[in-house]
Amino acid sequence: MSDLKEIARDAESILIAGHVRPDGDCVGSCLSTYLYLKKIFPEKQIEVYLETLPEVFQFLDEKKIVSYEAEEKEVDLFIALDSSTTDRLGDVEPLFYRAKKTICVDHHISNRAYAGENYIEPEASSTCEVLYGLMDENMIDKEIAIPLYIGIIFDSGVFRYSNTSRRTHEIAGRLIETGIPFWEYIDKCFYERTYTQTQLLGRTLLGSMRVMDGKIIVASITRRMLEFYEAKTEDIDGIVEQMRVTRGVEVAILLHEIDDQKYKVSMRSNDYVDVSKVAAYFGGGGHKKAAGCTMQGSVHDVFNNLTKHIEPQMRA
């Protein structure tokens, strides 16, 4: 496999970008790539573009590396990270098509290898795990290890999801050896909640319901609920995971109202249901056990349309 060093060697201008509404793996992969390449090539012009970072990950960008405004330009190398399609790159999608060279590093099974060079490993826990394989281990210091580790724990659910492998643990162990306070990052990124987030979680769970003999749990969050609790979109993170661990549940579905009759759908499964197939049918994507899409209609319309595609996969 190629090394990021070789991939970037001939490029003088490099743009690194992840998907819209960046999560831990997206932020971690973008920042670790920047730090790694800047360590090797301090003279190169390297930029990172992301939408505004969720508050929980803003501590990773103490040096203000990330830019939130896309400039019209042509770069030598465009590195797309953790983004399964080009439209998920948001405002910098046009820059991707104008770049002299493009690469994509990802682990989404729905990725169709849209770049000039593609490093896609659907069996990997995270894009950060794939990235680790593109780096020289001897060049990974504590500063680079922190975002890599956070990306891995985020997309592996702190090593709880089935995409976690022996290699995932081995990489995490090597990153820990750099001296990172891993226990602090696990608490900060996974278990620590604001009071607002706790209130929103409680209200959402209170309004949830189970169907199909308790195998599916569904809940919705309206814009009015967010306004009442003075919550932000990022305060929703983690709620569908809490729903997923309900005893007897195979699929958890969370509908988040983003406009009139328009919902962002987040789905999680525990065992055999492939929610990525359901999401793909409605124009979304993701992983077998974690996927999402955007749908139109009332809560009941959206839920009924989703269950039509989940039911054939259900086991007695």
How high is the pLDDT of residue 316? 63
Q: Which of 191, 224, 250 is the last residue of a domain?
A: 191
Residue 225: count of CB within 10 angstroms of its CB:
18
Pair (119, 146) in one structural domain: yes
How many structural domains comprise the chain? 2
Together in a domain, 57 and 118: yes
Say if residue 200 is in the same domain as residue 238. Answer: yes
How far apart (Å, rounded) are the C-alpha atoms in residues 33 and 153? 17
293 DSSP assignment: E
Instruction: Judge if 257 and 296 occupy the same domain.
Output: yes
Q: Are 40 and 183 contained in the same domain?
A: yes
Residues 187 and 202 in one domain: no
CATH at residue 205 = 3.10.310.30
pLDDT < 70: residue spans in the chain: 1, 316
Burial 31-52 (b: 16+ CB within 10 A, else e): bbbbbbbeebbeebebbbbbbe
Predicted TM-score (pTM) of this structure: 0.83
pLDDT score of 2? 73
**Model confidence over 210-267: pLDDT tens digits?**
999 999 999 999 999 999 999 999 899 889 999 999 999 999 999 999 999 999 999 9
Q: Are residues 247 and 291 in the same domain?
A: yes
Give CA–CA dist 182/149, Å, rounded.
Answer: 8
pLDDT of the residue at 162 = 86
* Secondary structure element (H or E) that encloses residue 67, with its range: strand 66-67
pLDDT given for residue 1 in this prediction: 58
Clarify whether residues 183 and 36 are in a common domain: yes
Question: Within 10 Å of residue 294's Cβ, how many Cβ atoms?
Answer: 16
105 and 214 part of one domain: no
**What sections of 24-84 are H helices per DSSP?**
24-40
DSSP state of 108: -
Q: 282 with 136, same domain? A: no
CATH code of residue 112: 3.90.1640.10
Which burial class, exposed, middle or buried, applies to 89 when counting CB atoms under 10 A from its CB (0-12, 13-18, 19+)? Answer: buried
Based on the fold, state whether residues 181 and 208 are members of the same structural domain. Answer: no
Query: Which of 159, 191, 223 is at the close of a domain?
Result: 191
Q: Which domain holds residue 240?
A: 195-313
Q: What pLDDT score was predicted for residue 19? A: 96
Whether 161 and 212 map to the same domain: the answer is no
Closest CA to 236 of 251, 217, 222: 222
Phi, psi angles (nearest 5°) of residue 21: 50, 60
Final residue belonging to a domain, choices 191, 222, 253: 191
